[in-house]
Chain A
């Protein structure tokens, strides 16, 4: 009997961390296939930078999907439009800080536009954002006059693409500041876990077993330190990583801790019941789509800075990367469930596959085939293992 319950627990655990395990397996597989090239410091460092836009936009997309499996198709176009505006403003000589602020305000206006139609006029999100996809792509190309506009402003590029360098510490080949930050985070995580567990046991709440809790934290710590070491061996901590962390942590906090974050889950779980509980469901939709556009615009700045130029095709099909990450990361296609850590895993899985295949030299077209298959398999796995058979 005890063995049986143990087996059941192991099964549960495997199910809960299935995507994390998949990520590890895929990563190891590519490490072997690329003969370790994917493990090079430069590649590890670039993995996140290349996928910055996916991580940032997946956070916003999660809110949209939570409301009932709704997606925002316009984000790739919004990204292009905002990037185009930034590029043109700066080539006209506008101050880069002012440019960034204006771009974020424009993103918010786009968000208000979409959120208003979807939340308050009940236009189906799919159609409204499909229209947005054409609208903003077109406007972006008009602003660029169908040309590629370069961004030369050093301040602007620096805000997004610099590496943190502490004089005296990071002068050598190894950027010790990165490693130090990694170790500090690892120590903080352990202390935080211990303190919060002590608090819980004092109040007499039930907790997960200490073996699992500490095992988990040690594994995370090992990864953090290893990652920090890799960064230290390349150019140090990229500023873009900080931007990503800012967004991811903010959204993780909103969705798991705040009352308003709770409402997104409630609307996706049962909209009618949510409304009758006195929750403003229109506002929930509005905020979801508004925040999505702001993040899309912000990603526009990230991508523009990373590439150093903007053209009319920038951000093409990026919406699918964001949506795919959410679903691979375990967000329900029917709404009401999904977490930020989950979608981060989803985005990383997609990112590792992309990078691994590129290093292997696999044809671009085949990469699409693999991505599609991974998405389908992930969702099938999710639906079958959780017995989520449609709305019933």
Chain B
């Protein structure tokens, strides 16, 4: 692979990694606090994208239908509003569907999460809500080529994704490690009972966790939709996106914020680089291009077999 090709692929890899990281963080935060996999997280991602569409068209920014025609402040506005709405959604879902099961066996909550996921997917399909046809929000971003250095194009989208992810991850890191609420979150993730005995309001901490995770998910959803078109809420692409982000969280060490970021980069690396190399090595076999998903799951299996606590995770012993 030539040097410029390598650089292009690297930019691609960082953007994809950033996307996965935003979504993986939501999974890892919730798992850290409640020890359960929020299957419905990928649906917050898809709803985030669709809510963005709704907001943007309500504001008239998608009227022209052509890419990049909305004013420059449109995207940040949409982003903020959508993140807030999704944060509220996350909190509500937790309150209604997960809180009653706080003490129930983990299997039950998992099933409930699947129920919530199905609910969101299918309500989203209704014509009254988002409908079952794809759409687009590309009007919000003029995906200009910002710079071209020796055959490598840096597109606005890629830069935006990388920068936005960095900013949000740093903000999250600051919250989790630098504020009282963050300390409370970490306390609850170690031992919920003891944390509550120490005066931590577990319900508030859980709500904040869901709010943060859902806001990040919304950002991820919007970025994904800008990149790939906006498919309907029940489309497999959202499930797959969520799944890969979840794999990233697990691979990095579930419950661990830095782990989620590391895992996301690893998954993106495999997806982008391995895919690229394998494609180049087997040009005559077109189906090789479809193997991306398998690589990702392959990594999951390997990690779960050899280091189930993840690359940056710590093993937890159950008291016998």
Asked if A and B bind, the verdict is no
B residues near A (Cβ < 8 Å) are none
A residues near B (Cβ < 8 Å) are none
